[in-house]
Amino acid sequence: MAQHIDIAVNLLSSRLIADIDNIVTQAAQHHVSPLIVIGSDITESSDSASLCAKYPQQLYSTAGVHPHHASSWNAASADEIKTLAALKPVVAIGECGLDYNRDFSPRDAQRHAFHAQLELAVALQMPVLMHCRDAHEDFIAIVSQYRHKLPAALLHCFTGTKDELLACLELDLHIGITGWVCDERRGAELASIVPLIPNNRLMVETDSPYLLPRSMRPKPKSSKNLPQYLPDIVEYMANLRQQPYEELAAHCYTNSQRFFNLGQD
């Protein structure tokens, strides 16, 4: 049976937090384990690390400040993330990056916080989990300054164009694909370019509780996406790539394990 790692779960979301134990258990029963819990600001990053300590080897986390929260970045932020990064469950810096779609934080603040977190990832020699939405040019320009000094870098929840994908691959980024690819309306372009991602650069994620795969049959009664649905995304991508399911699952699992340095204990 194929094994899976869900590289992006918003487990402290208000839609999931009351049912964490069941979510982790159900995911494992569907061979999805471990889960990477995303930190979107300092407080959530700290809470995520604390949660992971209760589920050793089932949950790991990231520590960072999402572009939506970039306005909260201050002189103490880097040291706070550095402290969290030293904790055993924390396996990457992030989620950090740029989001010009919603602009919840001013763009100059987003760029400042992104630079600072990439510098921190370089200093700590940790992988970085990144976000980019409607900000491709600035994103590539900033990442280009640090990529050669980073051990590994992942653009999670990729939903861009062919040219954007090729630019990311040129920088040797890992690419995270969500259930967006299963959406015959919004995900058609992504579905057409998923076959272009090399086997050794591809990862899969739910970004739970968001982006429930529209292709699921029977369709879940709730619109809440869960880590246990990850195999459906892998199966959909395997069909797109004309690749055996077990083979694709093995590549994604190995890539994720290596990227986050899991199973090294």
Strand partners, 32: 4
Region of 207 on the Ramachandran plot (φ > 0 left; ψ -120 to 50 alpha; else beta): left
pLDDT of residue 264: 57
Q: What domains, with CATH codes, occur in the chain?
A: 4-259 (3.20.20.140)
In the chain, what percentage of residues exceed pLDDT 90? 94
Mean pLDDT computed over 101-116: 97
pLDDT of residue 115: 98
Sheet holding 174-177, edge to edge: 4-9, 32-37, 59-63, 90-99, 128-133, 153-155, 174-177, 202-204
pLDDT of residue 261: 97
pLDDT tens column, 212-265: 999 888 889 899 999 999 999 999 999 999 999 999 999 999 999 999 999 754
Tokens, residue 46: 């700290």
pLDDT of residue 207: 96
pLDDT tens column, 142-198: 999 999 999 999 999 999 999 999 999 999 999 999 999 999 888 999 999 999 999
Which candidate, 179, 157, 165, places its Cα nearest to that of 237?
179
pLDDT of residue 210: 94
pLDDT of residue 221: 87
| pLDDT tier for residue 96 given thresholds of 50, 70 and 90 | very high
Mean pLDDT computed over 8-18: 96
Mean pLDDT computed over 29-45: 98
The overall average pLDDT reported for the chain is 96
Question: Mind giving me the DSSP string for the chain?
Answer: ---EEEEEE-TTSTTTGGGHHHHHHHHHHTTEEEEEEPP-SHHHHHHHHHHHHTSTTTEEEEE---GGGGGG--TTHHHHHHHHHTSTTEEEEEEEEEETTT-SS-HHHHHHHHHHHHHHHHHHT--EEEEEES-HHHHHHHHHHHGGG-S-EEE-S----HHHHHHHHHTT-EEEE-GGGG-TTTTHHHHHHGGGS-GGGEEE---BTS---TT-SSPPSS----GGGHHHHHHHHHHHHT--HHHHHHHHHHHHHHHTTTT--
Residue 210 identity = Y
In the chain, what percentage of residues exceed pLDDT 70? 99
3 vs 250: CA distance, rounded Å: 7
